[in-house]
């Protein structure tokens, strides 16, 4: 199977490496050519344009910043028109459900199948092939994508086109809100004189335990905010969730509160920190370092 991967960033690089190691013929493109070039060592063919990368591909995977960038690459840079009829586009970017449905409709006009399949698990999951993949597609499309997705993680078909993005919004709402809860709780303990690391140890295994506590809580304890998932991406996802909630007439006040908190952190220069960097914003509010 010939695969094209468009977008070789923090997630695209380890995903591309796994696809190469699984024996797929991989063709890659990235706006910054040097980033794509890193996959040549694993056998990928690097292209200078997205049109060149997708020609003759059975499956095209996009892992791009947001819906506007996906649309730009597909429909303005010409990737969609360069794809062969009967091929499949798997968009693994995190975009709005409404954008996913629009892209699917436009691709259908030129006889290209579509699946929205955003992921959760971060760079660790991408490297280990353990990503949680939320797929929205026609029932007939999922089996075609399954062998590719199996290399990257565990895929679940959650419903029709757009449903994958709805599931990802739910994931990002839970992640963003839980990071805030963990940060606020650990900071309060430290402010009161307790040892944050020991508090984390004490509540591990109880009802407050979670992967967020274990992974992001540890980053907070170590003050390690090097980006795996950036603050700027987290706020983008929360805004997508709020926009979708408005479209369907759903009130999401908790998500709204955390969107404002992340946005304020970004206003204070934290955009490029890991999303656990909300800890820094909450620490600053409390006069803590």
Boundary of a domain, candidates 133, 160, 187: 160
Looking at the structure of the chain, the number of domains it has is 2
238 class by beta-carbon count within 10 Å (0-12 exposed, 13-18 middle, 19+ buried):
buried
pLDDT score, position 161: 98
- Which residue in the block uniquely carries the two structure tokens 């020609």? 55
Using DSSP's 3-state secondary structure scheme, residue 114 falls into: strand
If asked whether residues 182 and 145 sit together in one domain, one would say: no
What mean pLDDT comes out for the span 196-209? Answer: 98
CA angle 9, 11, 16 (to 5 degrees): 90
Supply the range of the domain harboring residue 241: 166-285
Pairing mode, if any, of strands 131-136 and 119-120?
A: antiparallel
What pTM did the predictor assign?
A: 0.88
Is 156 in the same domain as 175? no
Q: What is the DSSP string of 53-107?
A: HHTT-SEEEE--SSHHHHHIIIIISSHHHHSPTT-EEEE-S---HHHHHHHHHHH
Q: How far apart are CA 145 and CA 140, in angstroms?
A: 10
Percent of the chain with pLDDT over 90: 96
Residues constituting the chain? 289
Give the CA distances from residue 249 to residues 103, 173, 242, 246, in Å, rounded to whole numbers and listed in that order.
23, 17, 10, 5
Q: What pLDDT was estimated at residue 228?
A: 86
Same domain, 209 and 135: no
Angle of CA points 146, 4, 151, to nearest 5°: 35
Active site annotation includes 236:
no
Q: What is the pLDDT of residue 141?
A: 96
Q: Tell me: do 189 and 231 sit in the same domain.
A: yes
Catalytic entry in 96, 138, 168, 236: 168
Give residue-wise pLDDT tens across range 39-91. 999 999 999 999 999 999 999 999 999 999 999 999 999 999 999 999 999 99
């Amino acid at each position: 199977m010939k695969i094209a991967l468009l977008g070789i960033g923090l997630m695209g690089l380890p995903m591309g490496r796994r696809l190469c190691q699984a024996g797929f013929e991989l063709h890659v493109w990235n706006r910054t050519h040097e980033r794509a070039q890193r996959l040549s060592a694993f056998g990928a063919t690097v292209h200078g344009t997205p049109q060149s990368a997708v020609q003759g591909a059975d499956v095209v995977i996009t892992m791009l910043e947001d819906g506007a960038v996906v649309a730009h690459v597909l429909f303005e840079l010409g990737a969609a028109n360069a794809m062969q009829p009967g091929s499949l586009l798997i968009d693994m970017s995190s975009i709005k459900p409404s954008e996913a449905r629009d892209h699917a409709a436009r691709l259908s006009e030129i006889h290209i199948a579509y699946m929205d399949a955003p992921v959760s698990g971060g760079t660790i999951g991408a490297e280990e092939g353990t990503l949680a993949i939320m797929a929205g597609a026609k029932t007939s499309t999922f089996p075609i994508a399954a062998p590719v997705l199996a290399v990257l993680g565990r895929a679940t078909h959650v419903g029709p086109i757009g449903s994958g993005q709805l599931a990802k919004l739910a994931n990002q709402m839970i992640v963003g809100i839980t990071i805030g809860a963990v940060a606020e709780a650990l900071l309060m303990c430290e402010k009161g004189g307790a040892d944050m690391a020991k508090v984390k140890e004490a509540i591990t295994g109880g009802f407050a335990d979670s992967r967020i506590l274990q992974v992001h809580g540890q980053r907070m304890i170590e003050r390690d905010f090097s980006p795996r998932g950036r603050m700027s991406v987290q706020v983008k996802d929360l805004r997508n969730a709020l926009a979708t909630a408005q479209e369907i007439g759903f009130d999401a006040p908790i998500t709204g509160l955390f969107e404002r908190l992340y946005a304020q952190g970004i206003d204070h220069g934290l955009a490029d920190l890991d999303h656990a960097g909300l800890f820094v914003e909450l620490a600053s509010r409390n006069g803590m370092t």
